[in-house]
Amino acid sequence: MAADYPDIDIAPFIDHALLTPTATPEQVEQWCEEADRFHFAAVCLHPTYVKQAAELLHGKNPKVCAVIGFPTGATTSAVKLYEAQEAVENGATELDVVLNLGWLKAGKTEAVHREIAEICEETGQPVKVILETNLLTEAEKRMAAELAMEAGAAFLKTSTGWNGGATVADVQLLKEIARERVGIKASGGIRTVNQAIELILAGATRLGTSRGIDLIRQRDNLEKVE
């Protein structure tokens, strides 16, 4: 698969994710250095490390992305808003916000919309709304995507990675719904360069993965074989 698409440079698609509960400041430094060296789109971190990452990447190209309401999306709207505002104050330039799945399934669409809209409006930064597609029916995926876009989301993101990862089918569905109005971030379980290429071809404009370096090495090895 990847060998058939030598012109696709996967590095600019990658959000270099460090979202384990045991992440350390030393790892944050490593992730930021790698993101800069390999020209990744962003580093994606817990809010506690945003300030450190913003200092390390000051004046450099990779964006600093903070996850909000991660990984369940079940914190209150006020907490999510404060978490997002503080992350931006600390230097976050993108926010990955987990949708309130319980509200969505209960039909509380106005509350879902309002929560996302407040974060978009109050922070002024690009928001990627995490839909957690593996836990939704197709109808719920469509509803969640439309609500997120109406509320001002800049991206639709498939998953946190905690309940299964991105699939080609879900990326294709989100692309169909989005009709190029917003970006599509595929996240979770992206372990091979072939997966990465398949997701990009399906419509992903970002790839969330902790294995960005592995993907680059796999790609380099393919080029050496050729």
Out of 80, 96, 141, 170, the active site residue is 96
Determine which one of 63, 80, 128, 185 is catalytic: 185
Distance CA 83, CA 146 (A): 24
- 9 carries an active-site annotation: no
Cis omega (within 30 of 0) for bond into 71 = yes
Q: Catalytic pick from 80, 128, 141, 157?
A: 157
CB 90 within 8 A of CB 47: yes
Q: Any residues with CB less than 8 A from the CB of 107 and at least 6 apart, and which?
A: none
Report CA torsion sign: 124, 136, 112, 66.
Answer: negative
Q: Is 51 a catalytic residue?
A: no
Closest by CA to 54, choosing from 93, 86, 18, 21, is: 93
Is 185 among the catalytic positions? yes
CB contact at 8 A, 15 and 43: yes
By annotation, the residues acting in catalysis are: 96, 157, 185
